[in-house]
Structure 1
């Protein structure tokens, strides 16, 4: 067994840079030595609560210092982590807890309404962190730690053991748990900071991407800790708040999705002082070239756009200083990873295409996940001949730059979050007045894409719903990133010869 643990990212930073501030959270400043000590203390509390190596610990915590404390504490205890999306409903979060086999949920007090309900649905206990109202009946993790000594170090794990499970919806509408190993995540973290990007120990990084998300977790948090820099957390992102904290803390590195870049541009208007940003990285969705050009002009810096998926740890390609940048592309494959273009019409084998041809983006290397939790059939469909099939269509030019052209799957990317139409359609179809529904993504200047439900109303309904009624109803059934903001009523959905809804035709007519 090759011993390797993602926990060593923090352990080594504490050994090499003990007095460097690792995390800034408002007025709180925590050094690497302090953070690793606190993580090992949390680990002792988790062990005392019954967590054993290989057990699954779910984490429902916003961007506060307790996130890395619990994250590395669970890893130090030898557990598998399941970060829970903060925008899920109790039912959706409960599904993640049940499907993953989580044995305990560590929940921040601010998320306890959803977290406690989700844990009850899954039949597992809750340990709380952060400020918690009296009388909740849930045990605090610090009380579980009590007077216990911190674990002396992290529990030994194998490089191929699962470290983190990211839940990502599929075209079936049922979320799947992507199994990321310690090797996947240690390598992707290391390659991001030492090969793909010009990261430096003196960096001050804005941690505004959700830490439960693979981009914020691997690239921002773990990458910052790997190089021994400082992470400045921002719990709720707005353009003005981000600019204020960047100026106050001297932030010079920014990771964000395109909507965040737009928000920063909006907030910069009329300001005399702007942060001096040395390194900016964009991912999660395509960054419009016009936005990149505006950002470069206003902030006097370049933006390095990249591409990846939960299943690829996440980074697969990025524009890199070594190769130069090319607007409109997602750059080159990162070190140790191959990214090619394959025929999209072949499901049972990979047949690579010549330079410049359009096809499905396929990926292989140290970043490709170990499969979907409990879904061998889905894993076999996703990994063919050793290549991960991304479901995205693109080209690779003669200079090695990769361009995303379209998506083979119908995924909608709203503000950097993946939303799968089938999942939304299944919820809307339960509304008593909805006879048929198709959900599509439509262009949106702020979010990249907006969710639009095209609805055929039951002709026998005596009081058909209005647009706002369906939006409000959906809001109560779906996470905040999933419910449709736009409703279009039609007499019939366009159908093809096989009676499948022609979503391409819907997009043309709705736009």
Structure 2
């Protein structure tokens, strides 16, 4: 295990973290006993106290057990956007020692059918705007019952501080074939005694399927607690922390950093169902948000608010995220505006968010950070499995308490995804990184995304990072394009800054790029776009752009 990074470890934090043997559900119970009348969630003008949150979890769990027969290890589909109902559903499932299968709200019917069939799901909880995707599964899969939630039930339109998303203000609809949320909570059945343990499987998030069929990542209370408390301590969360919850909760980063860690700390969440940069700015000002974990595309959009200077966002103490490296130029803009350095991290569904964090007081730009509590991270040659030297590119492998228990029903994939080294079993991330002499890790790119231009390796993330330095480029995404002579060549999709949309040309960018990067790296093709396809967590869907070539 490499230890060079210990010299930059956050002050007053231990290097080893002893994990509690309590469960995720018990985190909520403990916080509700400590802070019963404290606001857990601010949601479009309405607040939900910790005791209310715990009570509604108990009510829903009672219904699931008494009326639907949900028992330990049953798998339930959770198909909602950010809302109080999402978290109530999440903890109610855990209350029964059952397993959450979170689904992306952008999932298609076929996507959902895959999850349902893979896990034998019989019951789902969904937002009413997503019901039409879930309902057909009752005819073709094992799905039997759907509990339907209307987000408007948990808001106060008069006290909301900005425009409401359509799915939040839509009135409740009728679903005669299924169960309305309020009907489920109205039942008075009490669930049986809780007997959860740290080894219980509690959640199976699915990978995005970028390298084949989606794979379910099996996580226990213990693997998730490792990062729940790791994030809370690393980011100095207390009961007085106020977290801006804008990342989608179905995604491991959003769930872990902007819901589970705050709940463990007994702090408050300001929750948005849909990203709205102006609502976010008002929320920071109104509620004094201190912590905001986001994704780079979200921050880029936030900093592009024309009248951002008119908002008081001085309450922010910690701002950071992951998913993709933050362009250096954007990081500098954030620093000039707030005096804060962006704290990047790195992780995967398989590691329930982070394995690496930048030290908050000594972050590096465009850097994954250093290994988190008790994480052993190495860089290997993906072909030989041998460790590479400092500053040499290779595949990142990790061993730590947050690493999943394996892929659900995927024995062959599990064998391929792990490697033994020095008596330990490591997870192979598939990400190409390099480690500097201070123990910081830097992402080069996904192993599958490399462009082979006339025999030269070109990593799109590196080219994108340089393009972001162009003063007229707001966003950039680099992909490969076929080339008769080079085999593959570099193509850049660009969203220009609004004031340059009419004047900026493809040749301007190409000529500028020639002066900024090696001859084999600069884009030969530039295509302008008004927007990019993204996941609901804000990641640019580069494969969709790749298809357009």
Instruction: Give the TM-score band, short-chain normalised.
Output: 0.7 to 0.9
Deviations 1:273-292 (A, max 9, x none): 23121110121111111111
Residue 148 (str. 1) matches residue 192 (str. 2)? no
Corresponding residue of 2:125? 106
Which of 141, 148, 158 is 1:128 aligned to? 148
After the TM superposition, which residues 239-318 of structure 1 pair with which residues of structure 2 at under 5 Å, given as runs? 239-267=277-305, 269=307, 271-276=309-314, 277-318=316-357
| 2:426 paired residue number | 387
Per-residue CA deviation, residues 20-50 of structure 1 (Å, 9 max, x unaligned), is 1111111221111110111111111111211
CA distance 1:389–1:192, change in 2 (3 Å): same
What is the 5 A alignment of 1:22-33? 22-33=40-51
1:484 aligns with 2:519: no
1:363-374 equivalences under 5 Å are: 363-374=398-409
1:48-76 Cα shifts (integer Å, max 9, x gaps)? 21111110011011111111111001100
* Distance (Å, rounded) in 1 between the aligned partners of 2:105 and 2:300: 22
Q: Tell me which of 123, 128, 137 is aligned to 2:177.
A: 137
Which residue of structure 1 lines up, in the alignment, with residue 223 of structure 2?
Answer: 184
Match of 1:416 in 2: none
Could you state the TM-score of these two structures normalised by the residue count of structure 1?
Answer: 0.79
**Cα distance in 2 between the residues matched to 1:316 and 1:302:** 20
Q: Does 1:92 align with 2:97?
A: no
Equivalent pair of 2:251/2:537 in contact (CA under 8 Å): no
Alpha-carbon distance between aligned partners in 1 of 2:205 and 2:476, rounded to the nearest angstrom: 23
Structure-2 change in CA distance of 1:411 and 1:246 (3 Å): farther
Q: Deviations over 1:377-427 (max 9, x none)?
A: 101111211001110111111211111112212399xxxxxxxxxxxxxxx
1:41 corresponds to which residue? 59
SS at match of 1:354: coil
User: 2:75 & 2:416 partners in 1: Cα distance?
Assistant: 26
**3-state SS of 1:301 partner:** coil
Taking a change above 3 Å as real, the CA distance of residues 376 and 135 of structure 1, as seen in their structure-2 partners, is closer
Deviations 1:330-366 (A, max 9, x none): 11111111111112113xxx43233332211110010
Q: Does the 8 A contact of 2:56 with 2:185 survive in 1?
A: no
* Matched ranges for 1:374-453 at <5 A: 374-385=409-420, 386-410=425-449, 443=464, 449=477
- RMSD value over aligned CA atoms? 2.9
Q: 1:460 maps to what in 2?
A: none
The Cα shift of 1:82 comes to 0.5
Work out whether residues 453 and 488 of structure 1, in 8 Å CA contact, stay in contact via their aligned partners in 2. no
Residue from 28, 36, 39 that aligns with 1:21: 39
Instruction: Work out the CA distance in 1 between the residues paired with 2:238 and 2:134.
Output: 37
Q: Give the structure-2-normalised TM-score.
A: 0.74
CA distance in 2, matches of 1:44, 1:411: 51
SS of residue paired to 2:216: strand
* CA distance in 1 between partners of 2:140 and 2:354 (Å): 34
Counterpart-to-counterpart distance in 2, 1:36 and 1:479: 27
CA-CA distance at 1:304 after TM superposition: 0.5
1:236–1:264 Cα change, 3 Å: same
Aligned length: 436
